[in-house]
Amino acid sequence: MQDRTRPGLGLLLAALFVCLNAATAASQRSVRGAVLAVFEDGSFQLEKGLVVKRTAQTMVLRGGSAYNGPLLVGLEVEAAGTETSAGDTLLARQVTVLSGLEGEAEGTAVLEEQREAPGGTLLFADGGKLLLTEHTRRLAAPGDDTPGELARGDFISYRGRWTQNGLVELSELAVARNLLEEKEQALYAAYQPEMLLPKGAQAGPAVLRVGKNSYTVAGDPQVQLYMERLGSRLLPELWRAPENTRRFGLNLWFVAVTHASPQASAFPSGVVVIHSGLLLLAENEAQLAFALGHELAHVLQEHAWREAAFHRKKLRALRWSTAGIGYLVESAIRRGYRRELESQADRLALGYMARAGYDPREAVKFIQRLESRAEGLHSLLWEKHQTYGQRRHAVMAELLRYSAQGLAYPSLTRDTPQFAMVRARIPTAQLEAAQDLGRTRR
C-alpha cells in the first residue's frame, strides 16, 4: 500500500515544482517604452503607466557598457526584472537605454525670435532652439550676392546636429523673406469667416461659415471667451502684436462649435474651429492646449500657402542651387510637405504649450486617448497623420530635448478650474442631436 502511494506523491510534488517555476517565470518581464516621469529615487514611469523601480543592484547600460548619464523624460529604454502581483510596478534588474540626443536635424520654419547666447546666436524656430555659430555655413537665395539678414517672421531652412543640451548646432542656414503676395492674400480672403446670426428668439443658434464649411456656433459666451483666452495664451510673442498679424495677412479667431466629434480645424485666414466634442475628450486644459496649438501651428507656419502654392515665388526662394539644404527643401516641396507639416504642427504645439506653462507630457496622453477612439485631429487640406505610434514616438523625442534643456516638468500646469467649468457648460444632449452642417473636407 505504501509503495503504491509514493509514485502519486512524487507526481504531486513534481507538478507543484512545475507550477512554482511557471509562476516565477511569469513574474519575470521585459518591457520597452519611453520615460514619461522620473522620481527622486531614480525610479521612473513609462508612457503606458508602468513604474520601473531601481535599486542599488539595478544595472543601467547603453550599447553593452555602463550608462552613467541621467535618465530623462523622453528617453527610450528597455527594462527587465520582476513584476509585482498588481502588475503596475517592475522591480528592475537591468535597464538598457536605447536612445539619446544625437543625429541630424533639418527643416523649414518661420523664425520667431533670436537672442545672443554663449557661442553664437540662438534662433527660436520649428519648435526648438537653433544655435547659429561662426562655423555655420550661410547660404544666399537665388539672385542674391550675399546671405540675407535674419528677421523675425521670415522663413529659414536649416541643417545641423543635436547637442547634449537639447539644442541644434547649425551647419547650414538660409533665409527667405516672408512677403505677403497677391495670390496668398486671395487664398486668405477665400477663408474669411462669416457669422450668420439668428433672427428672433426662436430662430436657433448662430452659424459660422468659413469658405464652403458651416458650423453651429456654441451659444455659451463663457465657452467662447475661454477658447479665445486659451488661444491667445498659446500665441508666440511675434504674433501677439496686431501689426504683425496684419503684416502676414492673418485674422486670428478661435471659435467653439457644437459637434460631437473630437476634432478641430485651422483655416489659412487664421480661423481655428474647435469642436465641443474635443473639449469632452480632453482630460485637462494641457491636453486641449496641445490640440489647439497643433491647429494654431498650421496657421502661423502658413501651411496652407506652402502646400497650395509651393510652386510660386515664396517657395521658389527656398530652392537653393547648392547641395545640402537645396536638396532638402526641393525634395520636401516635391513631396507636398503634407506629412512633414503635420509632424511640424505637433512639434510646434509642444513648444507653444511649454512657453505658456503647460506640461507637454499631456500631449502623449492625449494622443493615446485619440488612439482609443480611433480619431485624429483633421485639419483642412492635410493628408492623414502618421500612425499614433509614430506620433507618440516623435513627441517623446521632442520631450527628451526639452528635458536636456532643463524643463522642470513638475512645475508646469496640467489643469485649471476654468477648464472644468467650461466642460460642465457643454450640453451633452445638444451634442448628441447636433447636425453635421459641413464636415471639414480633407
Q: What is the pLDDT of residues 20-45, one digit of tens each?
A: 454 444 478 899 999 999 999 999 99
Is 4 within the bounds of a domain?
Answer: no
Where does a domain end: 128, 153, 176?
176
170 in the same domain as 208: no
CA-based nearest residue to 401, from 100, 92, 30: 100
Where does a domain end: 82, 97, 112?
97
192 in the same domain as 61: no
Is 20 within the bounds of a domain?
Answer: no
For residues 69 and 161, give the distance between their C-alpha atoms in angstroms, rounded to a whole number. Answer: 20
Give residue 61's domain range. Answer: 27-97
234 in the same domain as 152: no
Q: Any idea what the CATH number is for the domain that residue 68 is in?
A: 2.40.50.140
62 in the same domain as 48: yes
91 in the same domain as 124: no
Tally of CB atoms within 10 A around 214: 16
For residues 384 and 245, give the distance between their C-alpha atoms in angstroms, rounded to a whole number. Answer: 28
Residue 244 pLDDT: 87
CA-based nearest residue to 246, from 269, 229, 266, 273: 269
Is 321 within the bounds of a domain?
Answer: yes
For residues 191 and 269, give the distance between their C-alpha atoms in angstroms, rounded to a whole number. Answer: 6
Residue with cell 459637434: 259
Is 212 within the bounds of a domain?
Answer: yes
Q: Which long-range contacts (CB under 8 A, 24 or more apart) does 198-206 make?
A: 205/258
188 in the same domain as 172: no
Q: What is the pTM of this model?
A: 0.84
417 in the same domain as 394: yes
256 in the same domain as 369: yes
Residue 434 pLDDT: 45
124 in the same domain as 89: no
What is the count of structural domains for the chain?
3
pLDDT less than 70: residues of the chain: 1-26, 141-147, 200-203, 308-338, 374-386, 428-442
Helix (H, G, I), strand (E, B) or coil at 56: coil
Where does a domain end: 128, 156, 176?
176
140 in the same domain as 196: no
Is 302 within the bounds of a domain?
Answer: yes
282 in the same domain as 409: yes
Is 243 within the bounds of a domain?
Answer: yes
CB 89 within 8 A of CB 53: yes
